[in-house]
Amino acid sequence: MGAGALCTGVSQLRDPYLDIRYRTSMSSVGAYDRKLGSLQSLSAIFDEVAKGEKDSGVLEKAMNELFKEIQNINGHPGRDEYNNIVRGEAEKVVNWFRDYAEQLETLQKEQEALYKQDIDRVNTILTSIRDLNEQIKKENIHGGDALELKDERNLLIDELSKYVRIDVIYEEEDVGAGYMVDKLVIKLDGNDPKSGNDGATLIDGHGNFGSIDGDG
């Protein structure tokens, strides 16, 4: 009596349902963010909202001018000056198409570079999770809770969910003498109709992991 509170241990409490809901939502958010960024880059090239002022709506303006001159030449057949005007307006349209094509080619290269960076980041995350699994297992075998390591691993799993839809499974692994420790398994979400994957295993405890490549 009168000795105050006694701390007998520290544990980590997470709701598996909330984890699943959060990580599934994050995968959708990550996909839509990337799509939005791509569409914004495209809109910066094809800015056709205005009517030809300040590089906006320039293609529409050029096309309208070309159609107008084509109508004029129909009323003056055989007049070289009208033919030359039509050629000039057509050349403007072609030049704008050529300029857009060059910008699209540059944008495509930038998007491919970003895609490769995402792949490298995913594989780095998978490696880090695999390494943390090994450290956590060693801590558990020696009686430790490894809560800080688990927190770090959870942050990486949350980040991974932004790139791909995953299924996180916690199992028990027998390490001998009837002693059980937690084992983390991460698979691609086979229920995702857009991915077309078959639930391939990315992380299986602290062993080898499946990497993501450019075709995955």
Q: pLDDT by residue for the chain (216 residues), tens digit each?
A: 677 887 777 777 777 788 888 888 888 888 899 889 988 888 888 776 655 555 567 788 888 888 888 888 877 666 778 788 888 999 988 998 898 899 999 999 999 999 999 999 999 999 999 999 999 998 888 888 888 999 999 999 999 999 988 888 888 888 787 788 888 899 888 776 666 667 788 998 876 555 566 554
List Cα–Cα distances, 107 to 41, 60, 92, 113, 121, in angstroms. 8, 22, 23, 10, 21
pTM of the model: 0.73
Please report the pLDDT score of residue 49 as a whole number: 61
